Amino acid sequence: MKQTIYFKGLNGLRAIAAIAVLFSHTTHALREFGLDSFVFGKYADGTAKTTLLAGFGVSIFFALSGFLITYLLLEEKNLQEINIRNFYIRRILRIWPLYYLYLILSILTLILFDLPFEKKSVLYYTFMLPNIPFVFGGIMPFVGHYWSLGVEEQFYAFWPWIVKKRKELLHTTILFCVSLFLLKFVLRFTDLQMNQGEMSWPYQMLHVTRFHCMLIGAIGAILYFQKNKFFIWLSDNIVTQIISWLVILLTAINGFHILSFLDNEFISIITVFIIIGQIQKTHRLINLDFSFFDFVGKISYGIYVIHPLVIFYLSKVIQFTDKSSMFNYTIVYFIVFLTTIITAYLSYHFFEKRFLQLKERYSTVSSSGTTL
C-alpha cells in the first residue's frame, strides 16, 4: 500500500527560494533592458547587490531537497527495503525532461542569435556536470544556473545508497557533513595564508558543490523522523523562529552576512528550522501554507529552469533609455515575473505533469502537495 506524506508550508518555502533567484537574476539582467543593474548598490567586491540572493535561494533549495528526499527514503526504509532503481527512475522523470528540453532550446537560441559559446561545454551540461564549467570556466549562456541541478543529481548518485546501507545513519551523516565543513575551512585558511586570499579551485569546487548544505537538511530529516525531542524543541520555539525569519528578512534586503565562507551553510540551518516550524505549527510565525505560495512552489522547478531564456527574449522587445525612472524598473520586474510564472505554469501543466504522473508508479512513499 502506498504511503503519502504531506508537510504543510514547504511549497511556500520553495516559492521563497524561487522568487529570490528570479529577483536576483532579473536585477543582474537589468542592463539588458537599458537599465542599471547596480540600482540597489554594490558589494565591496564591486558586484551588484542582490547577486548573493540567488546563491542563498539555492541553499534553501538544497536544504529543503536534502530534508524531503531523506525523510521519504527513511519512510520507505521503514516499510520495506529501499528500491534504488525506482528512486533513480523517479529522479529522472522529475528532473530530466525539462532539463534537457530547456538545454536544447538554449542551444537553439545561441545558434539562432549567433551567440558565442564553448561547444565542448555542451558535454558537461549533457552529462549532469554543469558545476565543472561553473568553477573552471566555459559557462554556456542561459544555462549557467544549471550548476545547482548538477550538484543535486550528483548528490542523488550516492545518497540513497548510504540511507539504505547505514544503520547508524545520523552518525554517518553528521560525520560526513562535519568533514566537509572542516575541509572547506582548511582550504579557505590555506588560501588566505598562501594565495593572498584568492580562492583556489579546490575551495571553489567545494563551495559550489554544496553537499554539506543538503546534508544539513538530511540531518534535520533524520532527527525529525526519530522524533528527537531536543531537536524539535530547539527548532520549534519562538526565539528560534524569530531569529530564523529575521535572517530571511535580512537576506532579502541584502543585509545578511556572517562569514562569507559559511553564509550559505548558516542559511541551510535556518531553512531546517523554518521547515520544522512550518510542520509543527506551534510557534509558526508566518504561515507559508496559502494558495499563492503553494502555487508558485509547485511550479518552482520550472521557474528556476526557464527564467534566463524568458529574461533574454523579453529584453529583445523591451528597452528603456531612462535609467532614473523607478517606474521602468517596476515594469521590468513585473513583466519578467509574470511571464516566467505563466511559462512555468504552462510547462508544469502541459509537459512536466505527464512525467510526474508516471513518476508516481515508482513511488512507495510519495510527498503530497509537492513536486519534488
pLDDT, one tens digit per residue, over 25-41 is 999 999 999 999 999 88
Spatial separation of the C-alpha atoms in residues 227 and 230, rounded to whole Å: 9
* Cβ atoms < 10 Å from Cβ of 175: 12
Note the pLDDT tens digit of each residue in 233-277. Answer: 999 999 999 999 999 999 988 877 777 778 999 999 999 999 999
Position 2 pLDDT exceeds 70 = no
Label residue 312 by pLDDT band (50, 70, 90).
very high
Spatial separation of the C-alpha atoms in residues 341 and 5, rounded to whole Å: 26
Spatial separation of the C-alpha atoms in residues 134 and 205, rounded to whole Å: 9
Position 45 pLDDT exceeds 80 = no
What's CA 198's distance to the chain center, in Å? Answer: 26
Position 17 pLDDT exceeds 80 = yes
> What does the pLDDT read at residue 254?
80
Least Cα distance to 219 among 152, 276, 259, 261 occurs for: 276
Position 42 pLDDT exceeds 90 = no
Mean pLDDT for the chain overall: 92
* Cβ atoms < 10 Å from Cβ of 62: 27
Query: What percent of the chain is predicted at pLDDT more than 90?
Result: 79
Spatial separation of the C-alpha atoms in residues 88 and 70, rounded to whole Å: 14
Label residue 371 by pLDDT band (50, 70, 90).
low
Higher-confidence position of 314 and 368: 314
What the block records as the C-alpha cell of 15 is: 516559492
Q: What is the mean pLDDT of residues 11-15?
A: 95
Label residue 369 by pLDDT band (50, 70, 90).
low
Q: What is the mean pLDDT of residues 144-158?
A: 96
What is the DSSP-derived secondary structure letter of residue 29?
A: T
What the block records as the C-alpha cell of 161 is: 545508497
> What does the pLDDT read at residue 10?
93
Q: What is the mean pLDDT of residues 47-71?
A: 92
Label residue 308 by pLDDT band (50, 70, 90).
very high
Asked whether 343 and 313 are in contact (CB, 8 A), the reply is no
Identify the H or E element spanning 3: strand 3-5
DSSP bridge pairs for 365:
3
Label residue 361 by pLDDT band (50, 70, 90).
confident
Query: What percent of the chain is predicted at pLDDT more than 70?
Result: 97
Q: In whole angstroms, how large is the CA radius of gyration of the chain?
A: 20
What is the DSSP-derived secondary structure letter of residue 322?
A: -
> What does the pLDDT read at residue 281?
81
Higher-confidence position of 3 and 185: 185
Spatial separation of the C-alpha atoms in residues 60 and 73, rounded to whole Å: 20
Q: Name residue 93's amino acid.
A: L
> What does the pLDDT read at residue 211?
96
Position 132 pLDDT exceeds 70 = yes
Q: Which of 26-40, 74-88, 148-162, 278-292 has the lowest mean pLDDT?
A: 278-292
Spatial separation of the C-alpha atoms in residues 308 and 26, rounded to whole Å: 9
Asked whether 302 and 343 are in contact (CB, 8 A), the reply is yes
> What does the pLDDT read at residue 183?
94
Q: What is the mean pLDDT of residues 46-64?
A: 90
Position 88 pLDDT exceeds 60 = yes
Note the pLDDT tens digit of each residue in 171-185. Answer: 999 999 999 999 999
Position 333 pLDDT exceeds 60 = yes
Label residue 1 by pLDDT band (50, 70, 90).
low
> What does the pLDDT read at residue 363?
83
* Cβ atoms < 10 Å from Cβ of 185: 14
Spatial separation of the C-alpha atoms in residues 105 and 126, rounded to whole Å: 13
Show the CA angle centred on residue 37, arms to residues 32 and 38, nearest 5°.
160
Read off the pTM: 0.94
Q: Which of 295-299, 331-335, 360-364 has the lowest mean pLDDT?
A: 360-364
